[in-house]
Chain A
Amino acid sequence: MEHVAHTLPGLMTRTEAELHQAFLDQVKAIPAGERIRRCIQCGTCTGSCPVSYAMDIPPRQLIALFRAGELETIMKSRSIWLCASCYACTTRCPSGIKITDIIYALKRTVMEKQYHSKAHQVQILANLFIENLLSYGRLHEGTLIRKYYTRMGFWKLFGYIPLALRMIKTKRLAFFPTKINAHKSLSRIIKKAQEIEMRHIPEKSDYSPGFVGYKGIGNLTLEPRKGGNA
């Protein structure tokens, strides 16, 4: 059956169906996330994006691929990591689609499903950022950059020497991180939030793969359209 699913048009593979479901779960948590159904493929998002020139799959195509059930293609793209969340697309979308948040949902889906065997650099930076926050309660840029380049290629740190020297000269470099006093309390809060989140993650998907296009968007309900503006 699995083999057939690969070949029949209009059907998704198991991996794709799972990614699809995981992504839809994330979209549900975005206020007005369901508006992804309203995309008219006008390309305003791609035209507004300052980094679309460097993307392999620009935002309009991401939505088209999502509808076509091509989740794996999306997950492999560098586009989702290139988004710097400037919200230009979200602001201009005539259908009111929260494109930036949708891209965040895609990032989270890739990270949670551990889709890639090797973490993307953005993922590494994000994880180190979170580690930094959990350790100190505040971000210490020096530690973040040092750890990031230790992972990504230590020699690159040498390129930062002139910048670091200027920061020292202008008294802008904090050599050591500061830990907030309520650090323990913050850790407890975060631990609890993680537990609560786990309650919401469905253990087993009740989604039956098969449909692409509008049907494949699942049971996202759309609020009634108001006037001309979304």
Chain B
Amino acid sequence: MKYAYYPGCSLEKTQRGYDESVREIFKALDQELIEIEDWNCCGATMYMSVRETVSLTVSARNLALAERMGLDILAPCSSCFTILSKTNRILSQIPEMHRDVNEALAEGGLTYTGATRVRHPVDILMNDIGLDVIKSRFQRNLNGLRIAPYYGCQIVRPDKTFDDRENPILLDRMFAACGAEMVYFPLKVRCCGGMLMTTFEDTALKLNKELLQCAIDNGAEAIVTTCPLCHFNLEGYQDRINKVYGTSFNIPILYFTQLLGIAFGLAPQKLGLDSSFIALGDKISTLAEAHYV
């Protein structure tokens, strides 16, 4: 299959580990990703602070570009995924809005009929490609590595998309199949605070502290994420949390595609593992650096 790849702003550089590993995983599974030419920012949650027509038009431009390619969008960032999906839903539910958005898009020579589907890599991997194919690609057993799968908010909410909203299970299945052990992690869909880290730091630090504490108390050796913002908050602010709360957290945070890449036996440098702020630890490093193919 071919997909119109929409990396989103944070994957361009700040979260290059996610971008690199998504590309590698899809390549390893013989799927073709074609980056949407000249895509623009989806607007994220911030853009919703302006009137609807404007915010919907900004994200719809990307949907229109993908429609012209005749492909579904692959959006790894949770925020992009939610915003693009939401735009699709609103345009299909409110015809007047769809008309207005098209009128605006016409200024740039674009039009959108509503045909582009927005997909998240977890969905494609587990529901389209399937666990059997993924299993056949495993080169390495994760050897009982204890992980906390953290789904975050926006790939499962607000609408029921491809997994349960309260207790999603696809990542658990994916990694159980490659020999990892899922620790008890009841906060798997609890919010990390997102942009609150900038505007209400105290609140966001507390949310992230609770997430880290829960994972560590239950014996996790790594937290696996699906969202650039969750990833950055959990990874980049561990120091500050330790300072504020007197804790000594030092737990590696991995994108699910990076861990899957390790199980696939892909080269660590291709998975952006060198972009981690926190040392991966002996167990993960040994797994990653075992003879890769």
Could you list which residues of chain A lie within 8 angstroms of chain B, going by C-beta atoms? 29, 31, 50-51, 54, 81-82, 84-88, 90-91, 98, 100, 104, 107-108, 111-112, 121-123, 125-127, 129-130, 133, 137-141, 145, 148, 162-163, 166-167, 170-174, 178, 180-182, 185-186, 188-194, 196-197, 200
Contact = CB atoms under 8 A, between A and B. Distances in A.
B120 to A, nearest CB: 15
A88 B157 contact: yes
A129 B46 CA distance: 7
A196 to B, nearest CB: 5
B63 interface: no
Contacts of A87: 153-154, 157-158
B140 interface: no
Nearest to B152: A86
Closest 9 CB pairs of A and B: A86-B191, A87-B157, A185-B108, A86-B153, A193-B104, A174-B13, A126-B49, A193-B57, A87-B158
B162 interface: no
B50 A167 contact: no
B51 A108 contact: yes
Given A50-B207, A88-B157, 15 more contacts: A51-B200, A54-B202, A87-B157, A90-B157, A100-B158, A108-B50, A138-B40, A167-B14, A170-B276, A174-B14, A185-B109, A186-B40, A192-B57, A193-B57, A194-B54
A84 B196 contact: yes
7 contacts: A54-B202, A108-B50, A130-B46, A130-B50, A139-B44, A189-B57, A200-B53
Interface of B: 9-10, 12-16, 38-41, 43-54, 56-58, 61, 89-90, 93-94, 97, 100-101, 103-110, 153-154, 157-158, 165-166, 189-191, 193-196, 198-200, 202-204, 207, 236, 239, 274-277
A174 B46 contact: no
Nearest to B49: A126
A145 B201 CA distance: 14
A148 B236 CA distance: 19
Contact of B104 (A86, A138, A170, A189): A189
Contact of A122 (B54, B61, B90, B199): B199
Interface centre among B154, B166, B195, B202 (most CB of A within 10 A): B195
Nearest to B191: A86
Nearest to B274: A170
A85 B194 contact: yes
Contacts, number: 181
B56 to A, nearest CB: 8
Given A85-B45, A166-B277, A196-B53, A125 B12 contact: no
Contact of A197 (B10, B41, B49, B53): B53
Contacts of B193: 50-51, 84
A192 B157 CA distance: 31
Interface centre among B12, B94, B103, B191 (most CB of A within 10 A): B191
B93 A31 contact: yes
Contacts of A86: 153-154, 157, 191, 194
B234 to A, nearest CB: 13
Contacts of A172: 13-16, 275
B52 A29 contact: yes
A144 B53 CA distance: 24
Given A126-B46, A133-B43, A171 B275 contact: yes
Contacts of B105: 189
Contacts of A88: 153, 157, 189, 191
B79 to A, nearest CB: 9
